[in-house]
Structure 1
Amino acid sequence: MLKIGITGGIGVGKTMVTRVFALLGVPVYDSDARAKWVMHHNEALRQELLSTYGPETFTETGELDRVYVASQVFNNPQKLAQLNSLVHPHVRNDFEAWAASHADKAYVLKEAALMYESEAWKQMDQIITVFAPLEIRIKRLLLRDTHRTEADIKAIIEKQLSEEEKISRAQHVVYNDDQQPLIPQVLKLHEQFLTANS
């Protein structure tokens, strides 16, 4: 089974691309959603988070207080790196177990915004980068995340690895630029992955 990573900066439309793959019957691992699940359910990680960020890390009902954790790490690169160093190894293990449960498939997809920063790319056979021009990304995000300003969005984008770097490190690029139709690009990759593993 091939393990295909899919990445790209905020607002490029990774979720839209993975939905097309999912409609083709490809299992998709959403790293962001699974990281939240692991932070809630992995007891070893819960204890690490509590000892690092204090009792406020979880609410009285045992839910992760994401607002509190974000406030601790967002403008502190060292604390953010520390959080990632705690969470990412558990997510890597979770992905391996998940992938093993889909061993009957030709390939699986792992969607991760921080594919390179988390070193998740090392688990992958190939990487797809989804690309969209900056102005399109900002427009999409202003519509989607109505609580964010353009300055907020630009600050997030500046913290992420550049699109040029992501493209240079990927084997495949999907252009989600409102110019090139998305579905034919995904279908072509789907056929390539099936053929590579047949």
Structure 2
Amino acid sequence: MAPKTIGLTGGIGSGKSFIAEIFKILGIQVYNSDINAKLLMSENKQLKNGIIKLLGKKAYHSDGQLNRELIAEKIFKNKSKLEKINNLVHPAVREDFQNFVKKHKKHQYVINEAALFVENGSHKDFDHLITVVAPEEVRIERVMKRDGVNQEEVVERMQNQSSDESKMKVSDHVIFNDASENLFVQISSIHQALVK
């Protein structure tokens, strides 16, 4: 029997990667869509060609690695280019995740972690969706510290994502990562529900 597929999402800086690490401690296999998307963008020939066609040869450095600064600059300010690159990357990531699920078929469930499941409608592809939420000011502070960017840049990125409220509406489980509730208790109760 195939394992249940669980989407783990949350806005930028909500702490979803930290939550994913806790699930890993519980022995759950976690697929990180963002990390794997970057790998595929560097290693998948078909995807690479599509990106070069869309953004030009400068989308890659001479060593074949992704020119992330240039790509971010081109797509975050241009909704149409952002949409086009997502239409190239998402199908490749979806296929890669399907292979990941097959590889871990002995598990009761596997997790796919990404920021934009609700925005791109792919949250419907999962058996369950978990959303991690945290106060906006906490998220801004975390991202500024993590990425070395200013508040304006973080807010700009946040505007490309849907609100916590809209994510929570379509979620089966919500984790409050704001120190008001114990994280381990929340994760443990979701884990128990998923292994039933």
Q: Common fold, TM-score beyond 0.5?
A: yes
Structure 2 Cα separation of the partners of residues 54 and 25 of structure 1? 42
Unaligned runs of 5+ in 1: none
Structure 2 Cα separation of the partners of residues 3 and 179 of structure 1? 28
Residue 187 in 1 paired to residue 181 in 2?
no
Deviations 1:71-115, CA, capped at 9 Å, x for gaps: 221100001101101111100001001111000000000001001
* 1:62 equivalent in structure 2: 64
* 1:142 equivalent in structure 2: 144
Q: 1:158 offset after TM fit, Å? A: 2.1
3-state DSSP of counterpart to 2:19: helix
CA RMSD of aligned residues (A): 1.1
Structure 2 Cα separation of the partners of residues 41 and 119 of structure 1? 26
> Which of structure 1's runs of 4+ aligned residues deviate more than 3 A?
none
Unaligned runs of 5+ in 2: none
Q: Which amino acid aligns with 2:162?
A: L
Structure 1 Cα separation of the partners of residues 61 and 141 of structure 2? 34
* 1:29 equivalent in structure 2: 31
- Equivalent residue runs for 1:37-48 within 5 Å: 37-48=39-50
Q: Against the structure 1 CA distance between its residues 54 and 141, is the aligned structure 2 distance closer, same or farther, given a 3 Å change threshold?
A: closer
3-state DSSP of counterpart to 1:154: helix
* 1:12 equivalent in structure 2: 14
Q: Report if the CA contact (8 A) 1:3-1:124 is conserved.
A: yes
Structure 2 Cα separation of the partners of residues 150 and 68 of structure 1? 20
TM-score, normalization by structure 2: 0.95
3-state DSSP of counterpart to 2:7: strand
* 2:91 equivalent in structure 1: 89
| Aligned residues with identical type, % of pairs | 37
* 1:173 equivalent in structure 2: 174
Deviations 1:161-197, CA, capped at 9 Å, x for gaps: 01100001101100101111101110111111111xx
Q: Report if the CA contact (8 A) 2:76-2:157 is conserved.
A: no
Q: Which amino acid aligns with 2:154?
A: I
* 1:74 equivalent in structure 2: 76
Q: Report if the CA contact (8 A) 2:10-2:16 is conserved.
A: yes
3-state DSSP of counterpart to 1:159: coil
Q: 1:123 offset after TM fit, Å? A: 2.2
3-state DSSP of counterpart to 2:159: helix
Q: Which amino acid aligns with 1:158?
A: Q
Figure out how many residues of one structure are paired with residues of the other and give that number.
194
